[in-house]
Amino acid sequence: MVADHQKEEEYKKCRGAWLCPEIDEIGGKKMSRYKDEQCRICRREGQKLFLKGSRCYTDKCSVTRRNYAPGDHGQGRKKISEYGTQLREKQKTKAFYGVGEKQFRKYFEMAENKKGITGENLLQILESRLDNVVYRLGFGTSRAQARQFVNHGHFEVNGKKVDIASYLVKEGDVIAVREIKKDNKTIKENLEIERPTPEWLERDTAKMQGKVLRLASRADVDIPVEEHLIVELYSK
């Protein structure tokens, strides 16, 4: 009991970084994802991470209304070390894509073993996740919503049902809403929202499907991430 209490206290101290990389379990419960308000993450970074879908595009966005870090000392000046800057960049990227520490490290190792620049390879892998592709195609207003659709079996890849959000798509793959799910009101409403489709993807709204024309390049990634800081962090 004492050990669990100490872990919980350490975790509370680490909440400013959203996730404590050293603590993976507290009281028998997995803590692989940040469980607090998503808007706090955006405010801590001082930029929109588009974690809450359509709300992020309105004046209700917390970053628009309160563009300073959360907490009593959110408006104070803070010095961040080099390690802290690198860690925050990694945590920000994890928050963007909704990925836990264990899986993120796995993606980094995959990126290292691929030809090319490790940081760019990492972003390409993250962009290739099925939940991200579903979001990019406009079927979901946020990656979290897209992940829920995938987990609930709303989509198929090349004619086969896939309910694993971390599934990595390949060039030529066709992602479609399953026939029995095409009456889903939320998906239909999402497709009516005007949002540009990335150049590496192609969407057929009438058929409620999309195709991977090629894998995403660094130029296709529009999120404010400095991937070289993540590479430096893992290289230590």
- At 93 the pLDDT is 95
Q: Which of 16, 28, 130 is nearest to 72 (CA)?
A: 16
Q: What is the pLDDT of residues 156-201, one digit of tens each?
A: 999 999 999 999 999 999 999 999 999 999 999 999 998 899 999 9
| Stretch 17-27: mean pLDDT | 36
Beta strands per DSSP E along the chain: 25-26, 29-30, 155-157, 160-161, 174-177, 201-204, 209-212
Say which CATH superfamily domain 129-215 falls into.
RNA-binding S4 domain (3.10.290.10)
Q: How far apart are CA 210 and CA 199, in angstroms?
A: 12
HSE-CB for 59 with a 13 A CA cutoff? 0
- At 28 the pLDDT is 37
Task: Check whether 94 has a pLDDT greater than 80.
Answer: yes
Least reliable range by pLDDT among 15-19, 59-63, 166-170, 191-195? 15-19
